[in-house]
């Protein structure tokens, strides 16, 4: 009997100990969770992030060999447009294809100065917009080895390749990028989309996005094939991948008519990447046809693409003159001291894409005033040469007056007419100009009167220098 009592007593002690231990552990856990109530939740919700996920994995800078061009055209228009493509295409350097709607039998043998030609597949009976939308897949299928970027364009698009390459260097080609610009015309954007890259201006697709489009294009065409424009179809497809347009102002659709010298003389502070619709506007330079004008602009661009059309503003205060320089294109002289904020607004020498559209443009413009203080003397690029040697090398460009202004002098700040000037020399450094994150170049009027000419010299602005 005593043995049984002893066993029961020991069992009760063991049970009591277990209860005490359990209670103690419970209290400890309660205290832990009360001190850090998110402890358990944090373990569930915080994923194991790869810290290199957002790292740009580019090992070498993008160059021209990393880009493939897909150019859309028609056999009917090729003869009149081939000079546009050949003005920027470099055989054995640029990569890509011209896709025509028919075999170019009448143009054989195919010249080496033009891009390799392909005939778009299954084009008969297919609407033009769908054929053009298919170009991304045809371009991708034709060339997808060692490619970072696909650039799509029309056969009347002109590219400035050095500026295009430097622009694309800013972006990670392993990301999902759709880079372009919308139209200068509000009506064009409203008819299509303000978030669309216009194919005439050209747009760039990073490899991952181009691959995704190529593999899913039929789905997109079935969904959006009834949209009016091929660019709108592609933009809608891109949107379905969760990608938005990255705007670069160096692309130019040129949805306008007439004389675009006012636009080119006040270019945005970004490198010039492309021009389009040059058949729809007057020749870029007076007394030249369209092809001569394009070749003349390209002659200027070959010297220094980083500066082409870049605006610099300077003043000669003794005469109250304001100078607005569009490098490699034009120089304007105003007989009045005008603020740079005013001179950066393009003169509206051009007409709207669709008459009657108000407002017409996606930018501010200045009207063609009859006030002689606000109408410039206009000089156009004429010739270029290099001077000096070594670190002293400089580029000297000469701009000449095409026509007299035929206005009375500006009397607001004294009668200081510039009518006698026929020529302006502009001296600039050989060193490439970087626009990204920098300022416009400043300029000094180093020689105001030497016969019928004046001389301007470009230089970096000083740290705290104001232009004015």
pLDDT in tens, the chain (468 residues): 444 444 445 555 545 555 455 555 554 444 444 444 433 333 333 333 333 333 444 579 999 999 999 999 999 999 999 999 999 999 999 999 999 999 999 999 999 999 999 998 765 557 778 888 899 999 999 999 999 999 999 999 999 999 999 999 999 999 999 999 999 999 999 999 999 999 999 999 999 999 999 999 999 999 998 888 899 999 999 999 999 999 999 999 999 999 999 999 999 999 999 999 999 999 999 999 999 999 999 999 999 999 999 999 999 999 999 999 999 999 999 999 999 999 999 999 999 998 877 889 999 999 988 899 999 999 999 999 987 766 678 999 999 998 888 888 898 877 789 999 999 999 999 888 888 888 999 999 988 777 799 999 999 999 998 887
What is the spatial distance between Cα 165 and Cα 162, in angstroms, rounded to a whole number?
5
DSSP assignment string, 152-172: EEETT-EE-HHHHHHHHTTS-
- The CA–CA distances, whole Å, from 385 to 169, 324, 415, 425 equal 30, 21, 34, 11
What is the spatial distance between Cα 440 and Cα 433, in angstroms, rounded to a whole number?
9
Phi, psi angle pair for 446, to nearest 5° = -90, -15
Residues 236 and 89 in one domain: yes
CATH number at residue 161: 3.90.550.50
Q: Is residue 4 part of a domain?
A: no
Q: Which of residues 226, 247, 268 is at a domain's end?
A: 247
Q: How many residues are listed for the chain in this entry?
A: 468
Q: Is residue 192 part of a domain?
A: yes
Residues 222 and 92 in one domain: yes
Q: Which of residues 247, 262, 288 is at a domain's end?
A: 247
Are residues 196 and 232 in contact, defined by beta-carbon separation less than 8 angstroms? yes
Residues 202 and 322 in one domain: no
Are residues 94 and 115 in contact, defined by beta-carbon separation less than 8 angstroms? yes
Q: Is residue 466 part of a domain?
A: no
What is the spatial distance between Cα 34 and Cα 26, in angstroms, rounded to a whole number?
12
Packed helices 207-224 and 135-142: angle between N→C axes, nearest 10 degrees: 140
Q: Is residue 76 part of a domain?
A: yes
**Parent domain of 372:** 311-459
Q: Which tokens in the block code for residue 436?
A: 């990204």
Say what the pLDDT of residue 49 is: 34
Residues 193 and 333 in one domain: no
Residues 148 and 223 in one domain: yes
Whose tokens are 């303000």? That residue is 194
What is the spatial distance between Cα 206 and Cα 66, in angstroms, rounded to a whole number?
11
Whether cis (ω within 30° of 0) applies to the bond prior to 307 is: no
Say what the pLDDT of residue 18 is: 53
Q: Is residue 71 part of a domain?
A: yes
Residues 218 and 353 in one domain: no
Q: SS3 breakdown of the chain: % helix, strand, coil, rounded to 5?
A: 30, 25, 45
Whether cis (ω within 30° of 0) applies to the bond prior to 109 is: yes
Residues 334 and 205 in one domain: no
* Beta strands 203-206; 95-100: pairing state: unpaired
Q: Is residue 43 part of a domain?
A: no
Strands (E), 111-244: 117-119, 149-154, 158-159, 178-180, 203-206
Residues 445 and 342 in one domain: yes
Q: Which of residues 247, 273, 300 is at a domain's end?
A: 247
Cβ-Cβ contacts under 8 Å for 240 (sequence gap 6 or more):
220, 223
Say what the pLDDT of residue 14 is: 47
Domains contained in the chain, number: 2
Residues 360 and 240 in one domain: no
Q: Is residue 178 part of a domain?
A: yes
Q: Is residue 140 part of a domain?
A: yes
- The CA–CA distances, whole Å, from 32 to 20, 21, 41, 364 equal 18, 16, 13, 64
What is the spatial distance between Cα 262 and Cα 259, in angstroms, rounded to a whole number?
7
Residues 375 and 242 in one domain: no
Residues 209 and 353 in one domain: no
Residues 242 and 316 in one domain: no
Cβ-Cβ contacts under 8 Å for 382 (sequence gap 6 or more):
398, 399, 400, 423
């Amino acid at each position: 009997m005593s043995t049984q009592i002893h066993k029961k007593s020991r069992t009760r002690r063991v049970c009591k100990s277990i209860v005490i231990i359990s209670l103690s552990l419970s209290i400890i856990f309660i205290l832990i969770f009360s001190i850090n109530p998110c402890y358990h939740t944090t373990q569930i919700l915080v994923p194991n992030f790869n810290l290199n996920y957002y790292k740009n994995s580019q090992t070498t800078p993008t160059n021209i060999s990393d880009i493939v061009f897909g150019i859309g055209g028609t056999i009917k228009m090729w003869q009149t447009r081939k000079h546009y493509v050949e003005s920027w295409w470099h055989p054995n350097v640029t990569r890509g294809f011209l896709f025509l709607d028919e075999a170019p039998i009448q143009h054989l043998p195919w010249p080496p100065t033009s891009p390799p030609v392909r005939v778009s597949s299954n084009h008969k009976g297919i609407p033009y917009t769908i054929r053009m939308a298919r170009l991304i897949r045809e371009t991708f299928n034709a060339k997808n080895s060692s490619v970072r970027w696909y650039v799509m364009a029309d056969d009347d698009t002109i590219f400035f390749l050095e500026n295009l390459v430097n622009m694309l260097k800013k972006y990670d080609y392993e990301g999902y990028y759709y880079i372009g610009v919308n139209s200068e015309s509000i009506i064009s954007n409203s008819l299509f989309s303000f978030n669309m890259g216009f194919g005439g201006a050209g747009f760039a697709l990073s490899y991952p996005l181009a691959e995704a489009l190529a593999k899913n294009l039929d789905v997109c065409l079935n969904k959006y094939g009834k949209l009016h424009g091929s660019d709108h179809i592609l933009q809608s497809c891109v949107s379905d991948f969760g990608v938005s347009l990255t705007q670069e102002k160096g692309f130019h659709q040129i949805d306008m008519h007439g004389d675009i010298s006012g636009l080119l003389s006040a270019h945005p502070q970004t490198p010039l990447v492309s021009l389009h619709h040059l058949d729809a506007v007057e020749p870029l330079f007076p007394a030249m046809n369209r092809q001569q004008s394009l070749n003349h602009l390209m002659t200027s661009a070959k010297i220094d693409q980083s500066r082409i059309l870049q605006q610099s503003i300077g003043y000669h205060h003794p005469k109250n003159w304001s100078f607005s320089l569009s490098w490699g294109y034009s120089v304007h002289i105003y007989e009045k001291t005008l603020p740079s904020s005013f001179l950066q607004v393009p003169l509206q020498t051009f007409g709207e894409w669709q008459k009657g559209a108000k407002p017409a443009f996606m930018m501010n413009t200045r009207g063609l005033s009859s006030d002689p203080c606000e109408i410039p003397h206009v000089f156009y690029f004429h010739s270029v040469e290099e001077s000096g040697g070594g670190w002293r090398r400089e580029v000297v460009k000469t701009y000449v007056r095409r026509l007299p202004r035929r206005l009375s002098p500006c009397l607001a700040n004294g009668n200081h007419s510039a009518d006698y000037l026929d020529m302006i020399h502009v001296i600039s450094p050989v060193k490439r100009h970087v626009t990204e994150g920098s300022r416009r170049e400043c300029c000094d009027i180093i020689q105001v009167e030497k016969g019928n000419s004046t001389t301007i010299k470009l230089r970096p602005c000083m740290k705290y220098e104001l232009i004015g």
